[in-house]
Amino acid sequence: MTDELRVEEALEAAKYRVYPDTPISEVIDLMVRRGLRAVPVVGEQYEVLGIITIGDALREVIRDGTTEDAGADEAPRAARDVMTRAVLCVSETQPLADAARMMAHRSVDQLPVVRDGQLIGLVHREAVLRAMHGDADTSEERERDDK
């Protein structure tokens, strides 16, 4: 059954994205306020240019000691300066097992999902695991347990 599952069955629609010129302090603020593990960086046509993960953001905070913009003699850093550029992407019609293997072998927690080259969402490890394992606590099982 897991061979038939597609990425779309574990897809989380893209709610947040940033552009390459977005100040990194704004990106980190967004991540903290919304509890985001990653934020895709997109171009004008919503094509994925990179991704900023919690690890990238944490490295930036450690680098500066703060998320505030740089001093007067240094240009403020933007998303393009911090993002991971080599991003694995999947399509919504790809087998979910393929995405799971990519995540496991490359040690990534989420993958951007694209349609016709444009970002449409993310797929996270937890959602992949839930979809592939199935809902262990279905309503039928709860009813059976209640009897």
Query: By C-alpha distance, which of 11, 9, 16 is closest to 111?
Result: 11
- Top CATH class of 7-133 equals alpha beta
pLDDT (tens digit per residue) in 40-91: 999 999 999 999 999 999 999 998 765 454 455 567 899 999 999 999 999 9
Residue 110 bridge partners (DSSP): 124
Q: How confident is the model at residue 139 (pLDDT cuts 50, 70, 90)?
A: very low
Confidence check: pLDDT of 124 > 90:
yes
Confidence check: pLDDT of 145 > 60:
no
Domain regions of the chain by residue span: 7-133
- Give me the chain's average pLDDT, please: 86
Beta strand extents in the chain (DSSP E only) = 11-13, 38-42, 48-53, 90-91, 110-115, 118-124
Please list, residue by residue across 97-133, b when 16 or more beta carbons sit within 10 angstroms of its beta carbon and e when fewer do.
bebbebbeeeebebbbbbeeeebbbbbbbebbeebbe
Paired tokens of 55: 């690890």
Angle at 121 between CA 117 and CA 125, to 5 degrees: 120
Paired tokens of 88: 């694995």
Q: How far apart are CA 68 and CA 31, in angstroms?
A: 15
Confidence check: pLDDT of 100 > 60:
yes
Q: How confident is the model at residue 138 (pLDDT cuts 50, 70, 90)?
A: very low
Q: How many CA atoms lie within 13 A of 92 on its CB side?
A: 15
| pTM of the predicted structure, to 2 decimals | 0.79
Query: Which amino acid type is present at position 123?
Result: V
* CB of 23 closer than 8 Å to CB of 76: yes
